[in-house]
Structure 1
Amino acid sequence: MSPRGVATPDVRERLFAAAERVLEKSGPGGLTSRAITTEAGCAKGLLHIHFAGLDEFVAELCLDRFARTATKAQELPELVGQGAVAANLDAVALALLDSGGPVIAGLAMTRPAAALRIREALEGGAPGFTAIQEAITGYLEAERRLGRLADAVDPPTAALAIVGTAHHLLMTTWPGTPDPRAQMTGLVAALLGSPPEGAPAP
C-alpha cells in the first residue's frame, strides 16, 4: 500500500483495473470507493483525490475503455490488404465487448449521474461508438477497393450492425449469461459472407 504523501504512479489506471477486478468478483453491488482502493492496495481516500465521487469515477472508467477500443479501431487502416478481413474486423468487434465489459456498461446505466457524464462527454467529441463505427466503415471501404470484400457488402451498414450489436450485447449481458463473443464473431462472419474461424468453408 502506498504510504500517505507518496505519489502513486499511473493512479487512474491502477484504480480502473482494480474496479474491473471488484466488478468481476462481486458484481455492481460490491463496487464502492473502499472496495476499489483496497483492491488497488492504496490509500482509501485516493479515489476521491482524483475523482469527485464514484459516479465520476465510473463515467471516466467507461470513457477510458471506449477510447481504448476507438484507438484499436483507428489502427485498422494499417491492416488493409493484410491477413483475413474477417479476422481483422473480428478483433475490433470483440474489443468492443471488452471496452469496459458488459458489467461496467451496465453499471453506468444504473447510475444516472454517471450515464449523463458519459453522454455529455461523447456529445463533446470523446472517442466512442461513433468514432469506432467510422473507423470500421473506412477500413471496409478500403478493403473493397482492393477487391478483398464482396461488392454486396455495404461498409456503412456493416459497421452500424457491428457497433449496434455490441451496444445491445453490452446492455443485455450480465454475469451468468452466455458469453456474447461467439454471437459477435458469428455476426461479423455473416456480414462479410465468410464462415466463422474454425468452421468449414461452404
Structure 2
Amino acid sequence: MALRDVREQLFDAADRILLGSGPEALTSRAVTDTAGCAKGVLHRHFTDFDAFLADYVLDRVHRMDTAPLQAGAGTVTGNVAAFLAELFGSVAVAIVALVTFRDGLRARLRDTWPAGVPVLTQGAVALADYLEDERAHGRVAAVADATVLGAVLIGTGHLLYADRTGSPPTPDELRRTVEAIIPA
C-alpha cells in the first residue's frame, strides 16, 4: 500500500490509540496496525519508537489551537475556559500521561524541549501571552502576573481533566474555576 503522508498517518493512529485505550496501549505494533501499514514503515521513518513518540508529541504541541484566545473579543473568562476545554478535551491529557509514563520519551524530549511536559508548558505560555494582551486592553487587573496565572490555569485545568475515565468538568464548573483564578 502506498502511503502519501506516512508521518501524519502514524501520528493520527497514535491519537486514536491514546484517546481510545490510553498510553499503556501505545506500542509500535499498535500504531502500525491502526495506521494500516507494516511495522517496518515506522522504523524506516524514525530511528526508534521513542523518536517517533517525541516527534509525535512535538507535532501535536505545534498544532495546539489557540483560536479561543483572541484578546479583546468575548470575555476573558469565556476565552480561557474555551481554551482549557479545547486543550484538555483533545489528546493532550493522554499525551501528558504518555510523557510521564515513558522515561525514554522524556529523555528524548529534553534534547529539544527546555522543561516540563510540552503540552502543558506550551499551553501555559499561550495563556500567559493572552492574559498579557488582555491586561494591555484593561480587561485583566494591572497587578496580575500573566506568567503565574498561565501556569496556575494549566495546572488547574490538568487536575480537572486528568481522569480520562471520569466526567470532565461542566462548562459552568470550568468558568467558575477560571473566574476564581483570574483577578478582576
TM-score, with length taken from structure 1: 0.71
**Deviation string for 1:21-61 (max 9, x for gaps)?**
12333333332222211211223321111112222222222
Aligned residue runs from structure 1 range 143-162, under 5 A: 143-151=134-142, 153-162=144-153
Aligned-residue CA RMSD (Å): 3.1
Paired residue for 2:35? 40
Q: Determine if the alignment matches structure 1 residue 96 to structure 2 residue 87.
A: yes
1:23 to 10, 18, 30: 18
**Deviation string for 1:48-105 (max 9, x for gaps)?**
1111222222222222222222xx34884xx221122222222322343256432232
Separation in structure 1 between the aligned mates of residue 113 and residue 160 of structure 2, nearest angstrom: 19
Residues 100 and 57 (structure 1), Cα distance of their counterparts in 2 relative to 1, 3 Å cut? farther
Percent identity between matched residues is 38
2:107 to 108, 116, 119: 116
Separation in structure 1 between the aligned mates of residue 89 and residue 164 of structure 2, nearest angstrom: 14
Separation in structure 1 between the aligned mates of residue 164 and residue 126 of structure 2, nearest angstrom: 30
**Deviation string for 1:147-190 (max 9, x for gaps)?**
323446442332121133345567xx344234267665443232
For structure 2, the residue ranges without an aligned partner over 5 or more in a row are: none
Separation in structure 2 between the aligned mates of residue 163 and residue 143 of structure 1, nearest angstrom: 17
Q: Determine if the alignment matches structure 1 residue 55 to structure 2 residue 50.
A: yes
1:13 aligned partner, one-letter code: E
**Residues 23 and 101 in structure 2, CA contact (< 8 A), matched pair in contact too:** no
Q: Determine if the alignment matches structure 1 residue 187 to structure 2 residue 170.
A: no
The CA deviation at 1:15 is 0.9
The CA deviation at 1:122 is 0.8
Paired residue for 2:63? 68
Q: Secondary structure at the match of 1:123?
A: coil
Residues 174 and 148 (structure 1), Cα distance of their counterparts in 2 relative to 1, 3 Å cut? closer
1:140 to 113, 120, 131: 131
Separation in structure 2 between the aligned mates of residue 122 and residue 184 of structure 1, nearest angstrom: 29
Q: Secondary structure at the match of 2:113?
A: helix
2:42 aligned partner, one-letter code: L
The CA deviation at 1:112 is 0.7
Paired residue for 1:176? 165
For structure 1, the residue ranges without an aligned partner over 5 or more in a row are: 195-202
TM-score, with length taken from structure 2: 0.77
Whichever of the two has the greater Rg, that structure is 1
Q: Secondary structure at the match of 2:134?
A: helix
**Residues 19 and 91 in structure 2, CA contact (< 8 A), matched pair in contact too:** no
Paired residue for 2:7? 12
**Deviation string for 1:91-136 (max 9, x for gaps)?**
3223432564322321222211111112222129xx7544543432
Bigger mean CA offset, 102-111 vs 129-138: 129-138
